[in-house]
Amino acid sequence: MTKRDLVVRIARQTNLKQSDVMDVVQLTLDTITEELAAGRSIEFRNFGVFEVMRRKERVGRNPNEPTTEVRIPERAVVKFKPGKEMRKLVMQINPQELK
């Protein structure tokens, strides 16, 4: 699903104009991004939690040159932990049906 697909679906369900729905969706995504960029977590009940985590410095290897070690610096990453409702629904999916 793309952002456009989401906007069309919400517009149909709410009878709102797609341009209005797109504005709200974009503002929502922008706000989530701003909060995460500031290092703050975002929690949506029954959906999940987005957290900014610190990934420690580590040593990696170039697959084309396995003997060469590459230093991967410490960095911030976004972690998503699904909520109870989402986890329950996703657990019902048959893994054989996925791509």
Rounded to whole angstroms, how far apart are CA atoms 36 and 28?
Answer: 12
Q: Give the model's pLDDT for residue 20.
A: 97
Q: Give the model's pLDDT for residue 62.
A: 83
Q: What CATH number should be reported for the domain holding residue 57?
A: 4.10.520.10
Block means of pLDDT (10 residues each) for the chain, 99 residues, are 97 97 97 96 94 95 86 96 93 89
Domain range holding 5?
1-38
Q: 52, 41 in Cβ contact below 8 A?
A: yes
Q: 39, 33 in Cβ contact below 8 A?
A: no
Q: Token pair 């410095």 is at which residue?
A: 57
Q: Which residues contact 56 (CB under 8 A, 6 or more apart)?
A: 74
Residues 2 and 28 placed together within one structural domain of the fold: yes
Residues 34 and 78 placed together within one structural domain of the fold: no
Q: Give the model's pLDDT for residue 67.
A: 85
Residues 51 and 96 placed together within one structural domain of the fold: yes
